[in-house]
Amino acid sequence: MHSVRLLSALMELKLTAWPYPGAIGVVERDESREVEEVHVVNGWRHLGSARSEAEVQQILLGQSGQGRFDQDTYRLLVAHLRKDRVRVRLLSER
């Protein structure tokens, strides 16, 4: 009985595997101000936000030590990506 309860509790903590071959950009556009921002994410970690391709590349170049895993960010991303609520761009394949 203990093992069943333990496995049940652990299943609630199980993470979905990162579904992309590398970093992605979650594109957010403010139509009223005509501004586009790209949130760079890799392995469920938010690495930073950028408003230009140069900024995106800077974030990608420094990604090795950036971004910690955050449970709330993970849950938001999973919910939005599953329902296709956001526009996604593949940024890298590593």
Position 3 in a domain? no
Q: Tell me: the pLDDT tens digits for 6-23?
A: 666 656 667 888 999 999
CB within 8 Å of 65: residues ≥ 6 apart: none
Given a contact cutoff of 8 angstroms between Cβ atoms, the answer to whether 56 and 91 are in contact is: yes
Q: Tell me: the pLDDT tens digits for 62-89?
A: 865 567 888 899 999 998 888 777 889 9
Tokens of 11: 């299943």
Domain extent, residue 81, equals 16-90
Position 36 in a domain? yes
pLDDT at 56 over 90: yes
- Per the structure, how many domains does the chain have? 1
pLDDT at 63: 66
Position 25 in a domain? yes
The mean of the pLDDT values for the chain is 84
Position 5 in a domain? no
- Per DSSP bridges, beta strands 35-42 and 45-50 are antiparallel
Position 78 in a domain? yes
Position 37 in a domain? yes
